[in-house]
Amino acid sequence: MCGIVGYVGNRKVTPVLVNGLRRLEYRGYDSAGIAGYRSGQLRVYKAAGRLANLEQRIDGEGVVERCGIGHTRWATHGSPSDSNAHPHTDCTGNFAVVHNGIIENNGELRQWLQDNGHAFHSETDTEVIPHLIEHYYEGNPIAAVKKAVQRLKGSYAIAVISREQPNQLIAVRQDSPLIIGLGETENFLASDIPAVLEYTRSVYILEDGEIAVVTPDRVEVYTVDGEPVLKKLFKVEWDPAMAEKEGYEHFMLKEIHEQPRAVRETMRGRIDPNTGLVNLEELSLTASRIQAIDKVVLIAAGTAFHAGLIGKSLIEKLARIPVMAEVASEFRYMDPMVDDKTLALVISQSGETADTLAGLREAKRRGAHTLAITNVLGSSAAREADDVIYTWAGPEIAVASTKAYTAQLVVMYLLALHLAVSKSRIRSDYARNIVSQMQQLDDWIKCVFVAHEERIREYAQRWTNKGHVFFIGRGADSYSALEGQLKLKEISYIHAEALAAGELKHGTLALIEDGVPVVALATQHALLDKMISNMREVKTRGAELLAIAAAGSEQMKQITSDVIFLPKADDLLMPILSAIPLQLLAYYAAIARGCDVDKPRNLAKSVTVE
Ligand code: M6R
């Protein structure tokens, strides 16, 4: 995945582009580049590595006049290098292009263009685009771009500038996000809203197959067939400061600490103050449609999938509807048993994960009612699903997902309760009790910070030189364990493995020896005795055992002195609380090992390629 920015107006262009790219670095950060005008010439600057390398390379003020485009890259075709960095140009140097996505027929197009005399300078799929525009150019850049994109297969968000129209950006969207920020006598383009928040909160969200022509005073949007499109204006409510670090050393730590707010905001307006029950009136899913649902499928990737697994345990327990949870990258290849009685839940922070979107489309094709749970307003998942529930976590910048995860869990609780009450599977009093405990979650999370953050920071030092960490749990805790191990490995690069504690003796116990760290999640009262046996199993074999348990589980202390006691909530709610120490452990272990926490190697925030 990559990030795109564009600007047209009267400001100095380089700082606007570089600021925008900095906000989009979470989308990829192995090289960066900008293109624009200086002394009437179209100039391109690019550099492998972080944005700082590009800034060094820009001589003096870089591009200064009127208009420019920029790109931060996460390599898919061609290694991260200066020559593969965007923008790419055509043979004449008339057009510069930045692109996010994948051109699937790149091989065939490249051959055809080379046969027609075009010389290529990179290994990227993107470079076919400026050459195609050059091929079709007969004096009108917009017409040339339209013809060029008709030849492309795959996903793309592109921005184009042309030497002969130095006051104009052309942008096209197909399966990759692109927004337009509206200013006064200036306009912006970007892959995501945080890149323009410093300048404007008024945005248009481009739809697939739309072309935008952007000048300082006008934004015109057309379909690829040339029909004008009347765009709906989105007013962004986020404070620009929400996309900044606000004094925290890393976005991840800031986002961990934003969870009380994320949880509260995600519940806001979804609890009926009169009944004390969940009210999801934003859904088009009627009571009779809910009655007819005989199966739920959950489609998601990574952390969102772990939220889905916890959702599965909740929906099955409360609403007694069978749930099939599948990783998005597998879902569409398994001939899934989905029909018009299926509710398909698609969970995605970004709403742009390629596999998750493909899963959504597959479920829809098979007749399911699709419901997206996403954090990004107007994202592809939000637009394509029949229904959407937004997680109001605010922009999540760190690659490791934290506040979006707990907000997704909140939605899982709301939805499970809503389905359960609608199907009369639980009593209203019981639902009301869970809802009222949910309203205390923000305070309980704050208590976890106060009581444990410093201890966890110290504890995580012990993992500085560890090669492996194991996470075990039973029931919902086994799903929390999966999230704990993913968080640890993605940012600290320590190998970690999670398993249902009962599975230990079927193989993994062979790896437990003196000094091996094991994190035991033991928050589920009904399973506590069994968990305690598993903890003794690993302790006897020399494991360094850290337990995460609910307050009051005093037996824990007999097994290990390292126990994190969480506020005593209903067992159902414990996954939200146990997520906090797991995130902090990963964060402080990564810090102790000197890792780049917000931008872990080889990873991007949102994976828009399959
Ligand atoms: O935007 P999405 O929620 O669809 O992203 C899914 C995964 O790529 C994401 O959760 C990933 O696993 C995170 N880096 C984990 O922290």
- Lowest-pLDDT choice from 207-211, 240-244, 360-364, 525-529: 240-244
pLDDT confidence band for 311 (50 / 70 / 90) = very high
Ligand 1 atom with minimal separation from the 400 CA: 16
Collect all residues with Cβ–Cβ distance below 8 Å to 172 and sequence separation of at least 6.
Answer: 145, 149, 156, 157, 158, 160, 178, 210, 211, 212, 224
Residues with C-beta less than 6 Å from any ligand 1 atom? 301-304, 348-350, 353, 356, 399-401, 486, 490, 606-607
Q: How far apart, in whole angstroms, are the C-alpha atoms of residue 429 and residue 32?
A: 56
Q: Which residues of 224-251 are buried (b: 16+ CB within 10 A; e: fewer)?
A: beeeebebeebebeeebebbbbeeeebb
Q: Is residue 72 a contact partner of residue 21, using CB atoms and an 8 Å limit?
A: yes
- pLDDT tens, position by position, 314-359: 999 999 999 999 999 999 899 999 999 999 999 999 999 999 999 9
Q: How far apart, in whole angstroms, are the C-alpha atoms of residue 200 and residue 381?
A: 24
Strands 468-473 and 517-522: parallel
State residue 241's pLDDT score. Answer: 64
Computed from CA positions of residues 78, 81, 84, 86, in that sequence, does the dihedral angle turn out positive or negative? positive
Average pLDDT on 136-148 reads 96
- Lowest-pLDDT choice from 18-32, 179-193, 310-324: 18-32
State residue 521's pLDDT score. Answer: 98
Ligand 1 atom with minimal separation from the 404 CA: 3
Q: How far apart, in whole angstroms, are the C-alpha atoms of residue 610 and residue 599?
A: 20
Collect all residues with Cβ–Cβ distance below 8 Å to 81 and sequence separation of at least 6.
Answer: 31, 48
Tokens representing 186 are 């200036």
- pLDDT tens, position by position, 446-477: 999 999 999 999 999 999 999 999 999 999 99
State residue 553's pLDDT score. Answer: 83
Note if 605 is an active site residue.
yes
302 alpha carbon – ligand 1 mean position (Å): 5
State residue 1's pLDDT score. Answer: 65
Q: Is residue 445 a contact partner of residue 343, using CB atoms and an 8 Å limit?
A: no
49 alpha carbon – ligand 1 mean position (Å): 23
586 alpha carbon – ligand 1 mean position (Å): 16
The best mutation among 251, 350, 384 to test binding of ligand 1, ranked by most ligand atoms within 8 Å of the C-beta, falls on 350
Q: How far apart, in whole angstroms, are the C-alpha atoms of residue 25 and residue 599?
A: 8
- Lowest-pLDDT choice from 74-78, 134-138, 335-339: 74-78
Looking at the predicted structure, is the pLDDT value of residue 239 above 80? Answer: no
Tokens representing 20 are 């925008």
Computed from CA positions of residues 361, 363, 364, 369, in that sequence, does the dihedral angle turn out positive or negative? negative
470 alpha carbon – ligand 1 mean position (Å): 21
pLDDT confidence band for 243 (50 / 70 / 90) = low
Helices 574-592 and 441-460, packing angle to 10 deg: 30
Sheet with strand 369-374: strands edge to edge: 323-327, 295-300, 342-348, 369-374, 387-390
pTM over 0.85: no
State residue 175's pLDDT score. Answer: 81
- pLDDT tens, position by position, 88-97: 999 999 999 9
pLDDT confidence band for 101 (50 / 70 / 90) = confident
Q: Ligand 1: which residue has its CA nearest to atom 4?
A: 348
Sheet with strand 219-223: strands edge to edge: 88-89, 95-103, 154-162, 165-174, 210-214, 219-223
Note if 447 is an active site residue.
no
Tokens representing 71 are 């790109």
Looking at the predicted structure, is the pLDDT value of residue 599 above 80? Answer: yes
- pLDDT tens, position by position, 387-430: 999 998 888 889 999 999 999 999 999 999 999 999 999 999 99
Q: Ligand 1: which residue has its CA nearest to atom 7?
A: 302
Average pLDDT on 29-54 reads 90
304 alpha carbon – ligand 1 mean position (Å): 6
By CB neighbour count within 10 A (0-12 exposed, 13-18 middle, 19+ buried), where does 287 fall? exposed
Q: Point out which residues pair with 190 in neighbouring strands.
A: 5, 179
The best mutation among 349, 356, 374, 610 to test binding of ligand 1, ranked by most ligand atoms within 8 Å of the C-beta, falls on 349
Looking at the predicted structure, is the pLDDT value of residue 49 above 90? Answer: no
Q: How far apart, in whole angstroms, are the C-alpha atoms of residue 389 and residue 382?
A: 8
Q: How far apart, in whole angstroms, are the C-alpha atoms of residue 576 and residue 480?
A: 9
Q: What is the mean pLDDT of the chain?
A: 93
The HSE-up count of residue 132 (CA atoms within 13 Å, CB side) is 25
State residue 245's pLDDT score. Answer: 74
Q: Is residue 376 a contact partner of residue 389, using CB atoms and an 8 Å limit?
A: no
Ligand 1 atom with minimal separation from the 349 CA: 3
Ligand 1 atom with minimal separation from the 399 CA: 14
Instruction: Look at the block and give the residue holding tokens 């890792």.
Output: 595
State residue 242's pLDDT score. Answer: 66
Determine the length of the chain. Answer: 610
